Amino acid sequence: MHKSQTVVVGGGLLGMTIAYGLALKGQQVCVLDEGDSAFRASRGNFGLIWVQSKGYGMTPYAHWTRQAAALWPELAGKLLADTGINVHLRQNGGYQLCLSQAELTEEVHRLQWLQSALGDYPFEVLEPNELQKRLPRIGPDVIGACFSPMDGHVNPLKLFSALHHACQARGVHVLHNYAVDGIEAFGNDFLITSNARELRCEQLILAAGLGNKTLGAHLGHDVPVAPSRGQILITERVEPFLDIPTSTVRQTDEGTVQLGDSAESVGFDDRTSTAVIADIADRAVRSFPCLANVNLVRAWGALRVMTPDGGPIYQELSHAPGAHLVSCHSGVTLAAMHALRLAPSIATGTALPELASFGLGRFSANAEVHHAH
């Protein structure tokens, strides 16, 4: 029977980020990855480091997100040093484009609320004339936009690759096709089973996305996560025209253009749908008419991991001390916080005061729930 100091269940972006952070602190880490049959949100992310509007109705989440964005240069630097992989971090701001006055009014309301709650929360509201100066390819259907200098983006595929290579360089052991079917607490240890295979560990981190619901139940906890399908389109490579991302259109460092930002409650169906693809493409062309005749080369769906209020969950499980639950839908935005703040706190057993707002207790019957994104 194999034994490890710390086991991370989940080999997606969240699990690998935490594993990397633990390895940076010298921990012996083993990652259990279910494999490509898992509903892996990592393969569907947009690559945004997005602060704008995040945490509306949930001030601690807004603070946490801002801190995460500020830590990103440090994480990118560590990954480059460990692997030689440049994740192409750009933090030169981001635009929320609005195609109606109602959209603009709602976005401004959210940003004003956050500015009032946090104080230092810079943003600009741009009218079409000013927006045209900044984004010459913008379309006439865009009636205004909000710009935040706090936002940015990375190449998500290079980020995922860098995390895997960095973990390998730091001695993290990854077991592939290891779907966990049982977890038991034995004294100070945990026994994890998978198809008659057994693994023991002293410390356990559940970072398996939608799988956390089942994993948490093994240890006596209800984990309120549910799928939200998002669909993404990728174009052929085109000449550079957009060096600052928007929330729905982003040009990558390789020249392709990502189109997205859909949300559907369809259970565990991660297929694409013609209607949603058409809506995404229509909005993109209205925003940037130069895309009208560009070829689409790929489209796919993926399932976000959503909590009732949209905020992350960070919880040491009361029924199983030494086991930590981590769930979120902003794996890229929060990656630096998970690697450089959360993981060290788990490694040293030092509680972060700001995590008190992100526990499971906020979803109890008497808790007031706000929407946080």
**pLDDT tens-digit profile of 312-353?**
999 999 889 999 999 999 999 999 999 999 999 999 999 899
Give the pLDDT confidence of 192-211 residue by residue, as tens digits: 998 878 999 999 999 999 99
Give the pLDDT confidence of 269-321 residue by residue, as tens digits: 889 999 999 999 999 999 999 999 999 999 999 999 999 999 999 999 988 99
> Does residue 208 contact residue 9 with C-beta atoms inside 8 Å?
yes
Selected residue with higher pLDDT from 42 and 17: 17
Span 134-156, average pLDDT: 98
Q: Which two tokens stand for residue 343?
A: 């993981």
Give the pLDDT confidence of 259-270 residue by residue, as tens digits: 998 899 999 988
Span 146-174, average pLDDT: 97
Give the pLDDT confidence of 35-88 residue by residue, as tens digits: 765 555 556 688 999 999 999 999 999 999 999 999 999 999 999 999 999 999
Span 141-168, average pLDDT: 97
Whole-number pLDDT of residue 1: 60
Task: Report H helices in the chain.
Answer: 13-24, 59-83, 101-118, 128-134, 156-169, 212-218, 274-287, 335-337, 343-348
| Average pLDDT, rounded, for the chain | 93
189-194 and 182-186 beta bridge pairing: antiparallel
**Domains of the chain listed by start with CATH number:** 2-80+156-224+308-363 (3.50.50.60), 101-151+226-306 (3.30.9.10)
Q: Is 32 helix (H, G, I), strand (E, B) or coil?
A: strand
Beta-carbon-side half-sphere exposure of residue 250 (alpha carbons within 13 Å): 29
Whole-number pLDDT of residue 2: 76
Closest CA to 347 of 101, 83, 170: 170
> Does residue 32 contact residue 11 with C-beta atoms inside 8 Å?
yes
Span 111-123, average pLDDT: 96
Whole-number pLDDT of residue 40: 59
Starting at the earlier edge strand, list the strands of the sheet with 296-306. Answer: 249-251, 257-259, 226-235, 296-306
